[in-house]
Amino acid sequence: MKKFFLTALLAVSFLALSGLGAQSLKGMSFNGATGLYSIPTGRIAWERSSDLGLDFGYHTIISDGRAANIPAFAISLFKWVELSAAFDIQPNNRGHGKDNNDFMTGAKIQFPFTNTAIALGGNFQAINLSNENFSYNAGQVYVAFTYAGQFFTMPAETTVVVGKTFRERNSWRGKTDSDIDFGMGFDMILLPNVFQNWIHWITDFANFSYSDDAFGASAISRGVLNTGLRIDLAQIPALSKFKFAIDIVAADAFDENRSFVIGVVFGIPIL
């Protein structure tokens, strides 16, 4: 029931948007792709602004006194292609004496539409690289739609993602690749008359996580809702040509195992 309520609430937010434009921050999701927190958006990092752009990101997910560290990298090419990679360095959380480190790499192609950003993407995940007993490979394909509008008087973007996750048959999670992936979220510039364009309020909800072996932001039981602030430091005039954002997030916020996430993304246009 809670999952249905959250999905319905986000759907109402989507329908409430008018056709007015919003400023897109184009931050980085936890797995390195341009996106919200768990879900990618229909945009790439340097659409319409640079033929070659580089983004560097880092997020730490803190749960039950332990932390996972996720450095990430993304490159944007020709204003329509994005390649990303992230290394999810997790603590030992299964009592087997070994760390649970995952490598994730992704690709996204944004189609050249004007009003609605649409991207076709996918990722490959090498799970538990250092543990032969729990290691396996997974992958996801998806299409993401991002629509710019306005929520009351605040510029906003709504994203809808539909996809499919695949796992190896011998994964420790079993053969559970029959579900359809669905995610929805919004990025709203919070009170622009007060904070200008500095603060974005971001919320996303999905029945999939940033990876198939997510730490502290896991949808394995009943979906995951993340909400938090993304602070746009590129509003500082000296940084206006760059991307510089800080994330402060409550991950899996409605579940007992909720976590806290802090992160930073810095981007550079090359060409």
pLDDT digits (tens, 9 = 90+) for 88-97: 999 876 555 5
Give pLDDT tens digits for 218-230: 887 779 999 999 9
pLDDT band at 49; cut points 50, 70, 90: confident
Q: Report which residue type is found at 213.
A: D
Q: What is the pLDDT of residue 237?
A: 93
Q: What is the pLDDT of residue 4?
A: 43
Give pLDDT tens digits for 96-153: 556 689 999 999 999 987 678 999 999 999 998 877 777 889 999 999 999 988 888 8
Residue with tokens 């550079």: 268
Q: What is the pLDDT of residue 255?
A: 84
Q: Cα–Cα distance between 52 and 254 in angstroms, integer?
A: 39
Angle ∠(95,258,150) on CA atoms, nearest 5: 145
Residue 6 has pLDDT above 60, yes or no: no
Percentage above 90 pLDDT, the chain: 61
Give pLDDT tens digits for 242-252: 999 999 999 99
pTM: 0.86
Q: Mean pLDDT for the chain?
A: 86
Q: What is the pLDDT of residue 263?
A: 97
Q: What is the pLDDT of residue 94?
A: 54
Which residues have a Cβ under 8 Å from the Cβ of 256 and sit 6 or more positions away? none
Q: What is the pLDDT of residue 8?
A: 45
Of 35-44, 165-174, 239-248, the one with minimum mean pLDDT is 165-174
Comparison of pLDDT for 132 and 234, the residue scoring more: 234
Residue 174 has pLDDT above 90, yes or no: no
Residue 60 has pLDDT above 70, yes or no: yes
Q: Cα–Cα distance between 196 and 179 in angstroms, integer?
A: 41
Q: Are strands 100-111 and 180-189 parallel, antiparallel or unpaired?
A: unpaired
What mean pLDDT do residues 195-223 have?
Answer: 91
What mean pLDDT do residues 39-43 have?
Answer: 96
**Listed residue (161, 152, 154) closest to 208, CA to CA:** 161
